[in-house]
Amino acid sequence: MRIIKVGMADLKVIKAPGILTTLGLGSCVGIALYDGFNKIAGLAHAMLPSSAEISNNQNKAKFVDTGIDMLIEKMIMEGANKNNIVAKIAGGSQMFTFSNNNNILKIGQRNVLATRQKLMNLGIKIISEDTGGNYGRTIQLNSEDGSLIVKTIGHGTKII
Amino acid sequence: MDNDRLDNFMIDVLREIGNIGSGNAITALANMLSKRINMNVPKVRIIDFKDISTILGGEEELIVGIYLGLKEDIEGNIMFILDMDSAINLLNMLLGKEVKELDEISMSALSEVGNIVASSYVNALSSLTGLKIAVSVPSLAVDMAAAILSVPAIQFGLVSDKALFIETIFQEGDNTVKGSLFLLPNIESFQKILSLLGVQ
């Protein structure tokens, strides 16, 4: 089966068959959208919660808000129906710990919160998620059934 | 100022910090170990985010990251990265025995090296700018390259679509260590550094 890689600050859409994967998600968030009726899958690897906070915001896939909009647009262009789309999210970990409060360290958590908020505003349901912690994750979204495999080093592998 | 000129200027500054900082770091390590350590001229590299983890052999490659906070006149972070072979070679140098895996003692030794290396670069930055900069206690993580590198990538992401870093290779006997250092001032501190160095 074809496997398509989604890099950091990037997003891809495919129609079944095929797998979308993103390797080593850390504080970034992986947003997997799926239309099970039309078997169309989309995966975004967003780095920052909001394009509104940054002046250098041309790369839409870099941000949770504009990335999700663009991902849905692309899925609809492939033939997806927005009403069928459900979401699974993974990542948003805190790779390093410090005793003091450092906003940039909480970026993982902020990415996850921004994702939940954005999807809620769009009326897209999150059916499962594996977020937080202090470790990296590799994810694979199968366009046949919408299953999302989450692999880690030392924290097991699961399907969500 | 346009991005290309800023990038070019930043490379010059980083190269200078790299030269002085690496020299200081190697001297400190050599004194600590009472051994002769050779160093190559540090390289300053700029890469796109999407290629950030390929510099260390792939997104899922196990690497060591040591992360420290910067305080006082500037705020931000500094990150020192080692691939697994380099981490093991460094430990062989430090502990004077064959190290097979990373236990608690070796992780704490690596944190200490991260501290020495980071402080050396920060002192170089301090003397170039006249800024007073303090370094926090290090935090260490061993995980997939892409996951660890997402931390500096996100911090660069606030200002640019590229990441800049300094790569230093040093040797002691048969042990070769390749380390990459990311200097990550926050936006205000970044501007402060630039203006002190004569760039508006």
Distance from CA of B27 to the nearest CA of A (A): 28
Type of residue numbered B55 = I
Residue range of the domain that includes A21:
3-159
Question: pTM score, two decimals?
Answer: 0.86
Of B69, B136, B150, the CB nearest to A26: B150
Cβ neighbours of residue B171 under 8 Å, at least 6 residues apart? B37, B38, B39, B177
Task: Output the CA torsion sign for A23, A25, A30, A34.
Answer: positive
Looking up residue A152, the CATH number of its domain turns out to be 3.30.1330.200
Q: Does A56 touch chain B (CB under 8 A)?
A: yes
Chain B residues in contact with A98 by the CB 8 A cut-off are 69, 136-137, 139
Residue A64: its H or E element: helix A64-78
Q: Which residue has the higher pLDDT, A62 or B9?
A: A62
Q: Find the farthest-apart pair of alpha carbons in chain A and give their distance in angstroms, rounded.
A: 48
Residue range of the domain that includes B91:
3-196
**Residue A28 predicted with pLDDT over 90:** yes
Instruction: Find the mean pLDDT for residues B70-74.
Output: 88
**What percent of chain B is predicted at pLDDT more than 90?**
15
CB-based contact B60 A23, cutoff 8 Å: yes
Band of the pLDDT at B199, cuts 50, 70, 90?
low
Chain B residues in contact with A8 by the CB 8 A cut-off are 49-50, 52-53, 146, 150, 153
Which of B199, B33, B59, B65 has its CA nearest to residue B129? B199
Q: What is the total residue count of chain B?
A: 200
CB-based contact B151 A26, cutoff 8 Å: yes
Band of the pLDDT at B56, cuts 50, 70, 90?
confident
CA atoms of A2 and A142, how far apart (whole Å): 10
CA atoms of A40 and A45, how far apart (whole Å): 17
Chain A residues in contact with B148 by the CB 8 A cut-off are 26, 95, 136
CB-based contact A135 B143, cutoff 8 Å: yes
Nearest CA in chain A to B147: A26
CA atoms of A42 and A16, how far apart (whole Å): 11
**Residue B53 predicted with pLDDT over 70:** no
First-to-last C-alpha distance (Å) of chain A: 20
Band of the pLDDT at B42, cuts 50, 70, 90?
confident
**Residue B131 predicted with pLDDT over 80:** yes
Count how many domains chain A has. 1
**Residue B82 predicted with pLDDT over 50:** yes
Nearest CA in chain B to A139: B60
For the segment A55-72, what is each residue's pLDDT rounded down to a tens digit? 777 889 999 999 999 999
Of A25, A54, A99, the CB nearest to B147: A25
**What percent of chain A is predicted at pLDDT more than 70?**
96
- So what's the pLDDT on residue B127? 86
Q: Which residue has the higher pLDDT, A89 or B183?
A: A89
For the segment A131-147, what is each residue's pLDDT rounded down to a tens digit? 999 999 999 999 999 99
Looking up residue B72, the CATH number of its domain turns out to be 3.40.1550.10
**Residue A100 predicted with pLDDT over 70:** no
CB-based contact A95 B59, cutoff 8 Å: no
3-class secondary structure, B131: coil
Count how many domains chain B has. 1
